[in-house]
Structure 1
Amino acid sequence: MKHFIPKDFEAPINLETDIFHICPLDTNVANLDYEAVMSSTTELQGIFGRDFSWPKPNMTLEESITSLKVHEQEFKTKKAFAYSVLNTDRNKCFGSIYIDPSRSKQFDCEVYYWIRSDSIVLQEKLFNVVSKWLKSQWPFQKVAYPGRLIPWENWDKQVKVV
C-alpha cells in the first residue's frame, strides 16, 4: 500500500510570509478559527465537495473544538495535515488549508483551502503561497485541488463518487 508521505518526513510546523502566518489547525487557534468559520458559513458550503455540508450555521464553539482535536490528532499521526492561515500579527484567522491523502490514483494528495469572505481578495495569494510551499517543502509530485483546479464533476468521476 502506498504511503501518504514517507515515514521519516516531518511536516512543516509554520510558514511565514509577508501576509500570512500558517500554523497547525489545532485548539490553540480555536477562537480565531471559529470566528472565521462562522463569518463565512454560506461561502464555505461545499468547500470539500458538492454534497458536503460544513459548517452548520448553528455550529457551536465546542463542536468546532472537537473538530480541531481531530485535525490535531491527524497531524500528529501523519494521516492528514490541516493548517490555520492567520495574519502576521496572529490575531485574525483568514482561513484554513487541508492536505489529505488523495482518493485518486493520479495524485499524491488533495488540497482544500478557504479564505474568509471579508478577506477573499487574498485567495489568489494564498493559492500561490500554498502551491509554492507544497513544491518546495513537501514530498508531493502531483497535487489535486478539487473544486478549484479540478471541477467537482471531473473529480467525482476520478474518485467514483456517486
Structure 2
Amino acid sequence: MHLIPASFVPPRTVSLANLDLVVLSPEWAQQDFAALERCADTIRHVFGPDNHWPDADISYEENLADLLRHEREFNEGEAFAYAMLQGERYLGCLHIKPIKSRIDNDARRRLFQAQAFFWLANDEAQPDPGSVLATLRDWLNAEWPFEAVAWPGRVQGWDEWQAMAHAPCMNDGA
C-alpha cells in the first residue's frame, strides 16, 4: 500500500531551518541506538499511550532490524522515516505513516492522509519540540502531497485523536 502518489518522489535528504533530515537507515544505527538507550523512557509512548516502543531492553540488533524495515518502507513508498540532525548531532527521528486502525470506517482516514510522529533525544542542547513541530509541519504542508497530516499526541491530544476515530461522516446535503 503506497502512502503517496507514484508521481511524488520523497526527498532523501532535506535541509530545513536548524534541522536536517536524512532517510533513516542502518547508516544511523549507532547514533539511533545510543539515543534510544539514553532516552527510552522519554520517547516511549510517542506513537500512542498504549505503545511501549522502545522496550527497556531493546538490543542493538533489534534496533538495526527496525532501521532496515524503515529503509525498506521508505524505498517502497509505504512509510517514511527520517533521522533528524543538527550538523553532526543526532537529534531523533521523524516518522510519516499511514493511519492504521482496527476500527471499521475510521473517520481519521477521511480527515487525514497521513500521520506524523517525531521524537527527540533528551540531550541538554536539544531544540525546542514546539519549534521542531512547526518546522516539520510547514515542510510537510508545503512539500508533500497531503491535504492534511495528523500529529497525534502533539497537535491532536491522545483523547481527541481516539475520539476522532468515531466522528460522524459528513454528508453533502444528503
Asked if these proteins are the same fold (TM beyond 0.5), I'd say yes
Matched, 1:156 2:162: yes
Structure 1 residues 159, 120: closer, same or farther in 2, change over 3 A? farther
Cα displacement (A) at 1:121: 3.9
Please report the TM-score for the alignment, with normalisation by the length of structure 1.
0.89
Matched, 1:145 2:142: no
Matched, 1:97 2:66: no
- Helix, strand or coil at the partner of 1:157: helix
> Unaligned stretches of 5+ in structure 2?
101-107, 167-174
Please report the TM-score for the alignment, with normalisation by the length of structure 2.
0.84
Please tell me the root mean square deviation across aligned C-alpha atoms, in Å: 1.7
Which residue in the other structure is 1:133 paired with?
139
Identity of aligned residues (%): 28
- Helix, strand or coil at the partner of 1:40: helix
Greater Cα radius of gyration, structure 1 or 2: 2
User: Deviations 1:22-63 (Å, cap 9, x if unpaired)?
Assistant: 101110111111111211111111110111001111111111
Structure 1 residues 67, 3: closer, same or farther in 2, change over 3 A? closer
Matched, 1:113 2:118: yes
Q: How does 1:11-160 map to 2 (within 5 A)?
A: 11-88=10-87, 90=88, 92-103=89-100, 104=108, 105-118=110-123, 119-159=125-165
Task: Identify the range of structure 1 (22-31 vs 149-158) with the bigger mean alpha-carbon deviation.
Answer: 149-158
Give the distance between the partners of 2:30 and 2:2, measured in 1 at CA: 33
> Unaligned stretches of 5+ in structure 1?
none
After TM superposition, which residue ranges in structure 1, 4 or more long, deviate above 3 angstroms? Answer: none
Cα displacement (A) at 1:120: 4.5
